Amino acid sequence: MSDSQFSQDTDDDDFGGYIKIDRYNQERIDSLKTDYHNVLTQIGEDPGREGLLKTPERVAKAMLYLTHGYELNAEEILNSAKFKEDYSQMVVVKDIEVYSMCEHHMLPFFGKAHVAYIPNGHVVGLSKIPRVVDVFARRLQVQERLTNQIRDCIQQTLNPIGVGVVIECRHLCMSMRGVQKQNSVTTTSAFTGEFLKEKTRTEFLNLISSKLS
């Protein structure tokens, strides 16, 4: 499908401005509404009571929003703002908020991503890095795959001298159910090229642990 159906126009604010309610999306909403109506019944609720009347539709829209990364193309996003530039030091974008959902329980995991690359003749518009994180985060994921997908996309599209990605997240499937550990944080990392060398990796890790103020 085209990007126009998942644009950032604020006109159709039912989806926080991301998803246009065209025929394709309306069909998906209608189908999910039926499913969530059934979910409400199965958990022992009354889908007919006042507070729940619009809930199947709200959840359907929320779910499409939370997984809208399937409709986006990360390579296109990077290529749309790739500029020739003679800069060959590390570029680091840190503390990028991540909101994703684990593919096992469809419960949120959330935290921060830190992304770095060393340009090889081209830089990319800075905002495109968090956009790429979102393209892969807004899907059903495991944190390890999310980390690798961000690394691979940047490496393949920009062909830099190296890429480093570190992600730190809390998983609600580990805190509000299951093993019920409230404070555990999972850290994953993925590197290419120059970042496979200890010196570069250490520089990156030092930069993402430093505070601005």
Ligand X SMILES: Nc1nc2c(ncn2[C@@H]2O[C@H](COP(=O)(O)OP(=O)(O)OP(=O)(O)O)[C@@H](O)[C@H]2O)c(=O)[nH]1
Residues that bind ligand X (CB under 6 A): 102, 104, 142-144, 171, 173-174, 178-179
| Choice between 37 and 114, CB closer to ligand X | 114
Is 114 annotated as contributing to ligand binding?
A: no
CB of 66 to Zn ion, least distance (A): 14
CB of 202 to ligand X, least distance (A): 26
Q: Is the distance from CB of 55 to CB of 49 less than 8 angstroms?
A: no
CB of 135 to ligand X, least distance (A): 17
Is 102 annotated as contributing to ligand binding?
A: yes
Is 105 annotated as contributing to ligand binding?
A: yes
Q: Say how far apart CA 200 and CA 168 lie, in whole Å.
A: 20
Question: Token pair of 33, please?
Answer: 């509404």
Of residues 116, 202, 204, 197, the one with CA closest to residue 158? 116
Q: Is the distance from CB of 61 to CB of 26 less than 8 angstroms?
A: no
- Closest-by-Cβ residue to ligand X is 178
| Interacting residue with Zn ion among 22, 54, 87, 104 (CB under 5 A) | 104
Backbone angles phi, psi at 144, to 5 degrees: -65, -45
